A and B are shown apart, each in its own frame.
Chain A
Amino acid sequence: MDRTLTLLGLESSCDDTAAAVVRGRPGGAGEILSSVVSGQAELHADFGGVVPEIAARAHAERLDLCVERALEEAGLSLADVDAIAVTAGPGLIGGVVSGVMCAKGLAAGAGLPLIGVNHLSGHALTPRLTDGLAYPYLMLLVSGGHCQFLAVEGPDSFRRLGGTIDDAPGEAFDKVAKMLALGYPGGPAVEREAAAGDAARFAFPRPLLDRPDCDFSFSGLKTAVRRARDRIVAEKGGLTVQDRADLCAGFQQAVAEVVAEKTRRACRLFAQAHGPRTLAVAGGVAANAVLRAALTGAAEGEGFGFLAPPLRLCTDNGAMIAWAGLEQLGLRGPDDMALGARPRWPLDAAAAAMLGSGRKGAKA
Chain B
Amino acid sequence: MRELSLFLPDAAATDALGAALAARLAPGDTLLLDGTLGAGKSSLARAVIRSRLAAEGRAEDIPSPTFTLVQVYDTEAAALWHCDLYRLGHADELIELGLDEALEEAICLIEWPERLGSLRPARALTISLADEGEGRRARLTATGPGWDPLFGALEA
Contact = CB atoms under 8 A, between A and B. Distances in A.
A166 interface: yes
A230 interface: yes
B42 interface: yes
Interface stretch (A189-197, A220-228, A271-279, A301-309): A220-228
B15 A357 contact: yes
Q: Which of B12, B14, B60 has the most CB of A within 10 A?
A: B60
A343 B68 contact: yes
A90 interface: yes
A51 B15 contact: no
B7 to A, nearest CB: 16
A356 B46 contact: yes
Interface string B57-90: 1111111111111111000000000000011110
Interface string B115-140: 00000000000000001000000000
B149 interface: no
Interface residues of B, number: 41
A352 B58 CA distance: 11
Contact of A171 (B47, B51, B67): B67
A104 interface: no
A167 to B, nearest CB: 5
A304 to B, nearest CB: 26
Interface stretch (A22-30, A52-60, A77-85): A52-60
A206 B65 CA distance: 23
B143 interface: no
A145 interface: yes
Given A52-B87, A230-B131, A343 B64 contact: no
B66 A145 contact: yes
A91 B46 CA distance: 19
B69 A52 contact: yes
Contacts of B43: 166, 219, 356-357
B68 A145 contact: yes
A92 B60 contact: no
A54 B89 contact: yes
A359 B15 contact: yes
A178 B72 contact: no
B155 interface: no
Q: Which of A90, A145, A222 has the most CB of B within 10 A?
A: A145
Nearest to B63: A145
A146 B63 contact: yes
Contact of B89 (A51, A163, A223, A352): A51
A358 B46 contact: no
A332 to B, nearest CB: 24
A212 interface: no
Contacts of B64: 145, 166-168, 171
Interface string A9-33: 0000010000000000000000000
Contact of B38 (A56, A179, A355, A356): A179
A346 interface: yes
Contact of B11 (A55, A90, A346, A358): A358
A92 B66 CA distance: 11
A271 to B, nearest CB: 25
A183 interface: no
A343 B38 contact: no
B67 A144 contact: yes
A357 B11 contact: yes
B69 A92 contact: yes
A160 to B, nearest CB: 10
Interface in A146-175: 146, 163, 165-168, 171, 175
A47 B50 contact: no
Contacts of B46: 166, 356
Nearest to A361: B59
B93 interface: yes
A211 interface: no
Given A223-B40, A226-B38, A356 B87 contact: no
A362 B131 contact: no
8 contacts: A51-B88, A145-B66, A166-B42, A167-B42, A343-B72, A353-B61, A361-B59, A362-B53
The list of the 8 closest CB pairs from A to B, nearest first, reads A223-B38, A51-B89, A145-B67, A144-B67, A226-B38, A357-B11, A358-B15, A353-B59
Interface of A: 14, 44, 47, 49-52, 54-56, 90-94, 144-146, 163, 165-168, 171, 175, 178-179, 219, 222-223, 225-227, 230, 343-344, 346, 352-359, 361-364
Given A166-B64, A167-B66, A219-B42, 5 more contacts: A49-B86, A145-B68, A175-B37, A356-B43, A362-B57
